Structure formats: C-alpha cells, structure tokens
Structure 1
Amino acid sequence: MIKNILWDFDGVILDSMEVRDFGFKEIFKSFKESDVKSLITYHRLNGGLSRYVKIRYFYEVILNKSISNNEVEVYANSFSEIMRKELINPKNLILDSLNFIKSQYKNYNFHIVSGSDQNELMFLCDELGISTYFLTIHGSPTPKNTLVKRLLAEYNYSEQESCLIGDSINDYEAADANSIKFYGYNNDLLKEDHNYINTFKEFNL
C-alpha cells in the first residue's frame, strides 16, 4: 500500500516545457541555432535532469568546449531569472494532477523531487500557492536519485510504501535506483514499459 508519493515538478504539476525551451534559447542566443536545437532535443529527452547538467552538456558535448563551474552557475542564474518571471502564471498548472494533490494531500505524504533549481522551485511553489500540499520541496543541483535516497532515509519511508510520479526516463531511473515504484505521466513514450497514469481521475493506489 502506497503512503508516500514523490512528485516530479515539470511536466507533472507544471506545464513548463515550452517556457524552459525558451529559457535555453535565450541564454544561448549568441550561439549557432543548430547547436541550440541539439540542446533542446537533449533537454526534452531528459526532462528529469537539472539545468546544470544540460548547460555542461551543451558546452562539453555539443560544442566540445570546456566550461568552469562558475560559468555554469552564471548561465544557470540567468536561466532562473527567466523562469521566475515566466512560470508564476497559474495557467501553467496542470489541473488533472493538481486537483488530485489538493484532494489527497492529507491522505498521503507528498514531496517534490525535481530537476529544477531548488531555490527557484520553492519560489514558484510559493507564488503559485501550492507549497502547503507538500511536506518538502527538493531540487537541483543535487541529482534526483540522491534526493530520493536522502528523503527515504530522513523520513524512514519503506520502499514498498513509496512511489515516484514523473514524466521522463530520468524519473524512472531515480525510482529504480532506490527500489521504489514508478508511475509515468504526461509522456506517451513511457506508456509501453512502465506503470502509467492516463488521468488522475482514474488513479488508484
């Protein structure tokens, strides 16, 4: 019986993909369009990874250049400024999942474990008025599998009583690495090989 639900944020609670696409295009607007397109493809295939990983991937893999930790931080901060402006609109909330969260948060232990920057994530949740539904809100730069591991240990949660809901293969990998159940959502590519939630109106644990 599931008692503890760990939620991914982007694509599960907030429909943010296009805004985050815009953010990467904006911070890298001085680079070749084809290179930025390659980053957007990588970003969309790896929604659960942090912007820190994606910025480094852009430089080290796509551009084949080195980048310092400080430079990564500068880009990440610029990206966060854009997100704080663009993502506080309540219209971006996914009502299907949000209605489930609002109606069930007293019946389960809800936590957010996201690839989004933690400070930005907490800001957005406060601005959107949803922080109260979650016991904790965790994000990057700590990798998601580490966030899950720490959370299970800190709250002494049983793996059999815990699950992670996410929209990317990275979310599945974080759940699998910690031996908890995974449910895919809002990504048809996850339907074939994973437990999948078509709508929370029909979701039973």
Structure 2
Amino acid sequence: MKDFIDKTIILWDFDGVILDSMEIREEGFREVLQTFPKEEVDLLLDYHKKNGGLSRYVKFKYFFEEIRKVKVEQKVLDQCAVSFSDIMKKKLTSRERLNGEVINFIMANRKRLKMHIVSGSDGDELRYLCRKLGISDFFLSIEGSPKPKIELVENILSINKYLKRETCLIGDSINDHEAAEVNDIDFFGYNNLELEKIAKSYIYSFNEI
C-alpha cells in the first residue's frame, strides 16, 4: 500500500480500531437508558452502530429529540454522558480488549511516525482509558468529544502545521471518512467492510503492512 507507506502522520480512531469496545458501548447505552422502552433504545443503538464516530452527546440528543420526540435540556444530556462515562471507565480498562495487530503496528512505528487519537468518545474518558491501558505515551495527543471529530482533525492539522499530503486518518465509521474528507486528508478504512464501498483505500490487516 504505497499510499499508506508515504504517510508520516496518522490520526487514529479509537473504538473498534485500537480497542474492541463496541459491545461495551452498547451495554452502556442500555444501562443509562434502562428506564425507557426497549424498542426506543434499540433504535438508538441502530443509529449508534451507523454513526460510530459521533459523540455520545449527539447520540443522547438524537434519542430524546428524534426518537422520543421531546425537547431535552442540556443538563439531562450532561447527566447521561457522565453516567455513560462512569460505566466505560469501569468496563474498558482490560488490555485484553486492545487490538493486538494495531498495537503491534503502533509500537513498531512509534519512532518513525507521528500519531494522534481523534475519537467521538469523551476526551477526558479517552485519556483515562489510555493511561489505564498503558498506551498514552504512544500518541502525541489524545482528543475526543464534546468537540466533533471534524473540528478535532482540523485543530491537529492547524496546531502542528502538518502537511495534509503526509497525514491520514484510520477509522471504522462513515463519520471518520467524513472527517478526513472535509479536512482534505486521506482516509483508510479498517474493521468495517461497509467502508470498502466509499473509501479509496482499505486496510484488511496491519499484519500485512
């Protein structure tokens, strides 16, 4: 993959790429929203699966305003987000959930490449998890919501004065693809075969790079 080899800066998505966390994220939504009808929560989880790169703040707002059709106050969204984060901090700190081939690639190339995490997950929670998982030092920065991923990518490019042709984003969702496209950097799909249909490049395994 010549296009990938030419890159010197990698922006990594977190959930589903670095960490096998999607099942736990779904459990978190169910637990936070356990007092609401199951069929409504199921609709949210469908939205969550299709929009993995969006923040939980957006998803909870979608649940109340688009699924339940009620106006929701910001303090309610904040309470949901805090409860969700508390669950994640308890359940996502096992190193067994790390994606071995991705971590091996990162460790082997950490001195050659500049790497950052850009995620739809909460930024403070991400930094906590990375510390607990022992991977914080692999990345120059670890950034997450509530800022949207498009803005996070833009900020990293601007602050570090990175050349766009040397930068790529690796992710597993349509929102990751959008964040790369809007910021005019290359995108590499991974761990979601649906992205083969829209991404110019797709990584089937880091063991083959």
Whole-angstrom distance in 2 between the partners of 1:173 and 1:196? 15
- 1-side partners of 2:198 and 2:52: how far apart? 18
5+ residue gaps, structure 1:
none
1:182 aligned partner: 187
What value does the CA root-mean-square deviation take over the aligned residues? 0.6
Deviation at 1:140, TM superposition (A): 0.2
Match of 2:53, as an amino acid?
A: G
Q: Distance in 2 between matches of 1:48 and 1:144?
A: 7
Normalised to the residue count of structure 2, the TM-score between the two structures is 0.96
Residue 202 of structure 1 deviates from its aligned partner by 1.6
* Shift >2 Å, 4+ stretches: none
Q: CA deviation at 1:201?
A: 1.4
Residue aligning to 1:196: 202
Aligned equivalents of 1:93, 1:39: Cα separation in 2: 26
| Paired positions, count | 203
Corresponding position of 2:72? 67
AA aligned to 1:176 is E
Which of the residues 45, 55, 60 maps onto 2:60?
55
- Which AA in structure 2 matches 1:132? D
Find the partner of 2:42 among 18, 34, 37.
37
Any residues of structure 2 matched to 1:11-160 within 5 Å, and which? 11-160=16-165
TM, length-normalised to structure 1: 0.98
In the alignment, the residues of structure 1 paired with residue 197 and residue 147 of structure 2 have an alpha-carbon distance, to the nearest angstrom, of 29
Quote the offset at 1:164 in angstroms.
0.1
> SS of 1:191's equivalent?
helix
Q: Percent identity over the alignment?
A: 50
The unaligned stretches of length 5 or more in structure 2 are: 1-5
Take 2:198 and 2:78, find their aligned partners in 1: how far apart are those partners? 36
Cα distance in 2, alignment partners of residues 201 and 15 from structure 1: 17
